[in-house]
Amino acid sequence: MKAIKENKYSIFLIIGVLLLVSILPLLVNLPFVLHVLISTLMYIGFALSYDIVTGQIGAVSLAHASFFGLGAYVTALIGKAIGAPFWLNIIIATILSIGLAIVMSLPAFRLSDLSFSFATLGLALTVQLVVKNWVKITRGPMCIHNVSNSSLWFNGILEISRTNLIAYFYLFLMVDIVIIILYRLISTGRLGRTLTAVRNDEVLASSVGINIQRYKRLTFFISAGIAGAIGSLWAPYISVVCPDYLSMDYTLNLLAIVFIGGSGSLLGVVGGSILLTVWPELLRVTPAFRLIIYGLFLLIFVTSIPNGVKGIISNVNKRLKIN
């Protein structure tokens, strides 16, 4: 899967579009529309974090949902114990997710390629089993309901009520902008080149002095931290936290977004997130039906359309320029 060279200005394009989107809630204040927008923003951040490890350095992790789920559970549990402000929840969730990533990396990064993916799959299922069976803390399959609202300060001071969708919208928007900038900083410049080099050819990369393990760990930890933060924001918004937050279905959603949109590309991943989040919400399809469609598209793209939708667009562009 070849990454596409990013247009220099794509980040301005995306942030510009996001700013345009940011006035949307002021125009259409319908709960349903806002919910679709918030879900899309959530997936943009989540998918970008996934792409740092899967698209940039090319280590296809199948454990990404574990970090999201961990972030969500941690936030739900903190909410039950003490009312911590949302930013503290994010910090704790991020740190714990990185902790989990460090534990996972101990065996997983002794492996490369397919073995790595396979090991992360086993690890993800293990974590999910633990969450499902540790009923005393997680309430297992009964889920944790009524997660406390996000608040700006301790003890529910300046609480953001779940009905205040606009506030959640801007919260996710801000977080997304931070993630986009971070993604951009990581995927370009010297570090970006290093990651592409490792993805392309590990042997050659090590022959020019690149410490492959170190960069794999770096990207894995960063991406896990971001996923934990997203989970931490999502839990109060959606108000229920269940073991299937850690399930493969979430990871497979991300896989579809990244590979259909165009892996390793900011525009591709953001486009993929929008494409794949909006229509199932609009058509209100069942998750099973949605996943079938994703699976079909994934197959079509991976077998016959390299570089995803982003690739198609840049090809069309090229042709238009030549003619």
Q: How many helices (H) and strands (E) does the chain have?
A: 15, 2
User: Least distance in Å: CB of 169 to another protein?
Assistant: 28
| Among positions 22, 206, 239, 315, the unique one binding another protein when judged by CB under 8 A | 206
Please say whether the beta carbons of 197 and 63 come within 8 A.
no
User: Token pair of 241, please?
Assistant: 């936290």
| Among positions 17, 24, 157, 204, the unique one binding another protein when judged by CB under 8 A | 204
CA 238 to chain centre: 17
User: Least distance in Å: CB of 39 to another protein?
Assistant: 20
Measured distance CA(78)–CA(76) in Å, rounded = 6
Measured distance CA(100)–CA(2) in Å, rounded = 30
Residue window 209-248: x/- pattern of binding to another protein, with contact defined by CB under 8 A: xxxx-----x-----------------------------x
User: Token pair of 255, please?
Assistant: 């896989």
| Among positions 107, 142, 279, 283, the unique one binding another protein when judged by CB under 8 A | 107
Assess 27 for contact with another protein (CB under 8 A).
Answer: no
For the chain, state the CA radius of gyration.
19
Contacts with 167 (C-beta within 8 Å, 6 or more apart), sequence order: 160, 161
User: Least distance in Å: CB of 235 to another protein?
Assistant: 24
Give the type of residue at 39: S
Contacts with 126 (C-beta within 8 Å, 6 or more apart), sequence order: none
**β partners of residue 159:** 151
**β partners of residue 150:** 160
Residue window 130-169: x/- pattern of binding to another protein, with contact defined by CB under 8 A: x--x------------------------------------
Q: b or e along 197-209 (b: 16 or more beta carbons within 10 Å of the residue's beta carbon)?
A: bbbeebeebeeee
Assess 286 for contact with another protein (CB under 8 A).
Answer: yes
Residues 168-197 interacting with another protein (rule: CB under 8 A): 185-186, 189-191, 193-194, 196-197
User: Least distance in Å: CB of 240 to another protein?
Assistant: 18
User: Least distance in Å: CB of 288 to another protein?
Assistant: 4
CA 9 to chain centre: 23
Assess 31 for contact with another protein (CB under 8 A).
Answer: no
Q: Give whichever of 19 and 300 is closer to another protein, judged by the CB atom.
A: 300
User: Least distance in Å: CB of 285 to another protein?
Assistant: 11
Tell me, by CB under 8 A, how many residues bind another protein. Answer: 69
| Among positions 88, 166, 252, 313, the unique one binding another protein when judged by CB under 8 A | 252
CB atoms under 10 Å from CB of 152, counted, come to 13
Q: Give whichever of 85 and 271 is closer to another protein, judged by the CB atom.
A: 271
Contacts with 2 (C-beta within 8 Å, 6 or more apart), sequence order: 306, 307
| Among positions 7, 112, 164, 315, the unique one binding another protein when judged by CB under 8 A | 112
CA 102 to chain centre: 18
Binding site for another protein (CB under 8 A): 1-3, 5, 58, 60, 107-108, 110-119, 121-123, 125-126, 129-130, 133, 185-186, 189-191, 193-194, 196-197, 199-201, 203-212, 218, 248, 252, 255-256, 259, 264, 286-289, 291-292, 294-296, 298-299, 302-304
